[in-house]
Amino acid sequence: MPIYILKRILGALPTLLIVSVLVFLLQKLLPGDPVLALAGEERDPATLALLREQYHLNDPLVTQYFRWLGGVLTGDFGISLRTNQPVLELIGQKLPVTLQLAAMSMIFAMLIGIPAGIIAAVKKNTLLDWIANIVALSGLSIPNFWLGIMLILLVSVNLGWLPASGYESPLVDFWLSIKTMLMPAFVLGTGLAATLMRHTRSAMLGVMSADYIRTARAKGLSTSEVVLTHSFRNALLPIITLSALLFGELLAGAVLTEQIFTIPGFGKLIVDAVFNRDYAVVQGVVLCTAVGFLLMNLIADVLSVIMNPRMRSAL
């Protein structure tokens, strides 16, 4: 297993290198000049020249890229042009917020999507199956921003059950933090639950038509044993892979949801950085997001090997 993990990590390094090149080059296509924004209204030529020299913006692109890449490899992601804070410090402030939102969203998605997918597969072509599919399609079709606004109006404004927006660290006030995250996590979780439900149903239907499931039924095993012990366990592999990819997607930041609920996560950070032409922050956030995706893929692969004896024996 350690050798397999090492191979997967080494295989991900070229991908990270390509991503770093794309991130660095694409951010140069952003409209506007960050130096003009920093220089103020007067925009004195001497000040502009000094700022360009200070941030090495006059150097060739290749030199700028390798200087930035060298800094990243040593833990230096650069300095924010707007706040003058180290980018790594900004990421360290926003990442826990995004991780909390992503974790709570995945909990909602799994609690809703996986049981609904199992029920839809067991009750195939029945009323329950149709209801589950309609709910799943609704979850995929309803925009997050609309659902978020409706929840704020109903739950916060009319009923007063939960805070309408904002964020509190769980280290400061745990229960208030959970309350502020419940609605945005539910908004994101419902969309993910729809995707998870459809894949769970497909995986379960594929497994339940297998010969060993018919044999288990012929032996007189109860429906719950057949469904949960034999069918669901063997259908877990694609569900695990999908869940890891969905979690990696959440790490990129849910831009609209974070804006609606005023959550200071990755999504809001990168939107502000793009509008402010804060190149170093954009590069740092996108690169960390790519690392998150690759890490979740690695975790999914390792869990698949653990769950599948045939894959373990092939290592």
Q: What is the CATH number of the domain that holds 107?
A: 1.10.3720.10
How many helices and strands, by DSSP H and E, does the chain display? 15, 0
Give a yes or no: residue 88 inside a domain.
no
Q: Which of 33-42, 287-296, 306-315 has the highest mean pLDDT?
A: 287-296
Domain assignment present for 161: yes
Q: Give the tens place of pLDDT for each residue, 188-223.
A: 888 888 888 888 888 888 888 777 777 777 777 777
- Nearest Cα to 83, choosing from 288, 289, 264, 286? 264
pLDDT of 27 strictly over 80: no
| Whole-model pTM over 0.85 | no
Task: Using the structure block, give the residue that is written with the tokens 């029945």.
Answer: 126
Q: Are residues 174 and 298 in the same domain?
A: yes
Residue 311 pLDDT more than 70? Answer: no
Domains identified in the chain, total number: 2
Helices (H), 28-152: 34-39, 45-54, 61-73, 87-122, 127-141, 144-151
Residue 79 in domain: no
* Residue 67 pLDDT exceeds 80: yes
More confident residue, 25 or 51: 25
Q: Do the Cβ atoms of 133 and 202 come closer than 8 Å?
A: no
Beta-carbon-side half-sphere exposure of residue 276 (alpha carbons within 13 Å): 18
C-alpha 138/C-alpha 191 separation (Å) is: 9
Are 127 and 267 in a shared domain? yes
pLDDT (0 to 100) of residue 291: 84
130 in the same domain as 43: no
Residue at 78 is within a domain:
no
Please indicate, yes or no, whether residues 139 and 30 belong to a single structural domain of this protein. Answer: no
pLDDT at 314 over 60: no
Residue 89 lies in a domain: no
Which of 27, 43, 73 is the endpoint of a domain?
73
Find the domain containing 66 and state its range: 2-73
In percent, the amount of the chain with pLDDT more than 70 equals 90
Shared domain for 144 and 286, answered yes or no, is yes
Angle between helices 87-122 and 174-208 (to 10 degrees): 40
Does the residue 80 lie in any domain? no
CA torsion, ordered 99, 103, 104, 108, to nearest 10 deg: 150
Same domain, 34 and 140: no
Name the least confident of 19-33, 39-53, 62-76, 88-102: 39-53
Q: Is 86 helix (H, G, I), strand (E, B) or coil?
A: strand
- Asked whether residue 90 is domain-assigned, the answer is no
pLDDT in tens, 245-280: 888 778 766 777 888 888 888 877 888 887 777 778
Query: Is it the case that residue 301 has pLDDT exceeding 70?
Result: yes
Q: How does residue 107 score in pLDDT terms, banded at 50, 70 and 90? A: very high
- Report percent pLDDT > 90 for the chain: 1
Residues 200 and 113 in one domain: yes
Q: Quick check: is 124 in a domain?
A: yes
Residues 246 and 199 in one domain: yes
Query: Are the beta carbons of 282 and 27 closer than 8 angstroms?
Result: yes
